[in-house]
Each structure stands twice: as structure tokens, then as C-alpha cells.
Amino acid sequence: MTDTQHIRISPSILAADFLHLGRDLEAIHDADYVHIDVMDGHFVPNLTYGTTIVEAASRATDVPLDVHMMVTNPDETALWYAEAGADLITVHIEAVRDLPALASELRGRGVGVGVVLNPATPVQAVADSIDDVDVVLVMSVNPGFGGQGFIESTYGKVRELRRLIDEAGSPAIIEVDGGVGPANAEALARAGADMLVAGSAIFRAEDPAAMIAELRARAAVGLAARGE
């Protein structure tokens, strides 16, 4: 999944209008992924949606589906979402029991796999998992609700993770989720992020497609300056 020339944008449908989901998915047809937050009301204090939304989204768009599982039992349920049409599934290091086994099962079905770090979880928690995953997702807000403020210490965490991945020679990319918008896209890309999840910034914009383009443009500046 490595692409050093392009920062991916993954709009989170948590901020979409579910009465007009097809319309909102069409508005982001130029995105790299569609981010789908699955919350079970146990791992996080919120309840969102299940496989039926993933199935509906897979019928409504050709954009790959990036399913973020904020659940207590990803080992048992991730395959449900693979069967529903997910192209990438990320699970929390705080919840998954056997990441190598789950990654093997998902990849066997042609689905990418990622591991997620909560804000309070140190980067070293995934040090032994880098070779098992395609993506490491850094939460830049406490998971559970959209529209939260960005946690500023995320930049340092992304830089640390970038060093870890590069030193390991891993092709895994870094995804950042929470409070992402035009104000921090450049800095996140410069710190080492490869994919940015944005919900409110995109779906509450007057022109979601234009906002995706703006985020890409700002992130491209940061990518070009990476390592300076």
C-alpha cells in the first residue's frame, strides 16, 4: 500500500447524512477510501452500525471501504465485514487477541488489515505487529464520537511511528483519524502520515469534493517537506 507520492484521503461517513447516504457517497467519489466507523457500545461509549451499512456502501460506490472496528471482539467479527464488502479492516491493538491469525484470514480473503492505537496507547504497543499489517491507524481523538478536537501530541506520535516503520523496512502506511482538516493536513503529512481520515471537515463543507482536493493539496506540501 506504500505510495510516497500521494497522501490518501478517507472521508468518514460518521459525519454523513444517513437519510441521503447514496448522495453523500457520490459527493466523495474522488476519495481514496470511504471510512466506516463500526462502534459496538462496549469498546467505545457509542453505537453506530453493522454489516448492512457496509453492504449498502459497497453497492453504492466503487471507492474502497476502510472499515474501522471499535469493538471488543474483532477476532470473532472482522470476517463479517470482510464478507460484507470491506476492502481494508482496522482493529484496535487494545482489543484484538491474535492479530497475526486475523491478518492471515483477512488477507486470504483479499482484504487489507490494519491495527489501531488509541491516544493513550504508546507506539511500542504495535512494534511487534508492524510486519503483520498494511496500515497503522493513529487515533488523534478519543474514539467514540465525531467532531472532537485534535490532540496536538499526535504529531510526535506519528513521527515516532514513522521512524519505527522505516527502521523495520515495513511497507505499512500510517493513517490518522480524528479532528483532521485543512489546518493540520500539511503538518500531519510532514510528520509521516500517509492517509488522513476526515469526517466533519468534508461532509460539512459546502463542496465535499473541493474539500478533498484541498486536503490533498495541503498534505502534498507536507509530504514534499518530509524529512527536512
Q: Could you tell me which of 96, 132, 88 has the C-alpha nearest to residue 112?
A: 88
C-alpha span between 184 and 166 (Å, rounded): 23
Residue 35: left if φ>0, alpha if ψ -120 to 50, beta else—which one?
beta
Q: Could you tell me which of 80, 73, 128 has the C-alpha nearest to residue 100?
A: 128
* Main-chain phi, psi angles of 202, to 5 degrees: -90, -55
Q: Nine-digit cell at 66?
A: 476502510
Residues with catalytic function: 37, 177
Residue in the block written with cell 457500545:
41
C-alpha span between 154 and 36 (Å, rounded): 21
Helices then strands, each counted (H, E), the chain: 8, 8
* Main-chain phi, psi angles of 227, to 5 degrees: 90, -10
- Three-class SS of residue 122? coil
